[in-house]
Structure 1
Amino acid sequence: MSIDPSSIPNFGGQPEPEPSGPVGPVIPDQDLVKQLLEQMELKYLVDDEGDLAAPWEQFRTYFMFRGEEDQQIFSVRTFYDRAHEIDQKLQLLEVIDDWNRRTLWPKVYSHTNDDGTVRLIGEAQMLIGTGVSLEHFVSSTVSWVRASIEFDRWLVQQLGLEADIESGDDEPGDED
């Protein structure tokens, strides 16, 4: 199975073309995600656990498949690298609660490390075990990537961290 290049939405805000591909449900796999990332011109790597990851300057987005056959889940999970101090956690939780109320994805939550720093994780999931339409899979995955990028920019605005953006705007695939 392959993806028609004209079906890949761009990051420039132009209308998204209609995808063409198999009729009926497909069961997405890692090769399909690799094709999608290549057509989106995003750099990616495969980590030690076999998951695909697309690195940006301030975060990494993972594309993971979990579960057994008809219960398999495709997850797009973004780990934001910006460390926040534990005394900022209440403000951080209020900000991400606001994001979670306003948006469908990614749903963002916090993780407090042993050293007391707080980091954020965004996640969106899709049940794929029984198959999904290729169009739905492609448009959802692209939307989730866009939203992950947008969340980072939005968070910088909300927390007054504009210096981070001025020192190096995170564009897709900027990191080596």
Structure 2
Amino acid sequence: MTIDPSSIPNFGGQPEPQPQGGPAGPVVPDQDLVKQLLDQMELKYVVDDEGDLAAPWEEFRTYFMFRGEGDQAVYSVRTFYDRAHKIDDKLQLLESIDDWNRRTLWPKVYTHTHDDGTVRLIGEAQLLIGAGVNIELFVSSTVSWVRAAIEFDKWLVEQLGLESDVDDAETKPEEDDE
């Protein structure tokens, strides 16, 4: 099974090319299909020690995981955001992600509090694939979920005023010449 490049959604405003021929039958996606899609999207990826496929960005990692068997098989795209938040900021985080979750379909975002008191965010979207899915649905969902994971990170930076944190990390203090 291969991915028709014309089936990758175009978010640039131009009309999407339509695949030739009739609709394809259902397929049961696997990791190789996701690798092919990520290659076509020109995204770097790795396979971790547990065998899960991950695409790393600077502030987060997105995992493409397959769980379950038979009709219960699930494809999950899960993003782990690396920015650590203080436990004292958890209420503000919850209010922000509740707002995101009400306004958007994906990723649904939740908090995880670590033993050391830091709070990190996780975004997730899932698709039941055990009975097979339409290839165009699989491709467009995966692409949309990746783009939404990126957009969430940008949105959160704006919502919480984290631009200064990003700017401070990128800017080195000037040294006095005296």
Q: How much has 1:163 moved relative to structure 2? A: 3.2
Aligned to 1:99: 100
Aligned to 1:87: 88
Residues 66, 19 of structure 1: alpha-carbon distance in 2 compared, 3 angstrom cutoff: farther
* TM-score (norm: length of structure 2): 0.88
Residues 144, 164 of structure 1: alpha-carbon distance in 2 compared, 3 angstrom cutoff: farther
CA distance in 1, matches of 2:106, 2:17: 22
Q: How much has 1:9 moved relative to structure 2? A: 2.6
Aligned to 1:171: none
1:7 aligns with 2:7: yes
Partner SS for 2:82 = strand
Point out the structure with max Rg over C-alpha: 2
CA distance in 2, matches of 1:16, 1:80: 31
**Larger RCO: Structure 1 or Structure 2 (Cα < 8 Å, ≥ 6 residues apart)?**
1
CA distance in 2, matches of 1:101, 1:110: 16
Partner SS for 2:84 = strand
Letter matched to residue 9 of structure 2 = P
CA distance in 2, matches of 1:67, 1:155: 32
User: Stretches of 4+ moved more than 2 A in 1?
Assistant: 9-22, 163-168
% same residue = 82
Residues 126-135 or 4-13, more deviating: 4-13
| Superposition pairs of residues 91-170 of structure 1, within 5 angstroms | 91-164=92-165, 166=167
* TM-score (norm: length of structure 1): 0.89
Alignment RMSD (CA, Å): 1.8
Residues 163, 110 of structure 1: alpha-carbon distance in 2 compared, 3 angstrom cutoff: same
Q: How much has 1:70 moved relative to structure 2? A: 1.4
Letter matched to residue 8 of structure 1 = I
Partner SS for 1:82 = coil
Structure 2 gap segments, 5+ residues each = 171-178
Number of residue pairs the alignment of both structures matches: 168
Q: How much has 1:15 moved relative to structure 2? A: 3.9
Structure 1 gap segments, 5+ residues each = 169-176
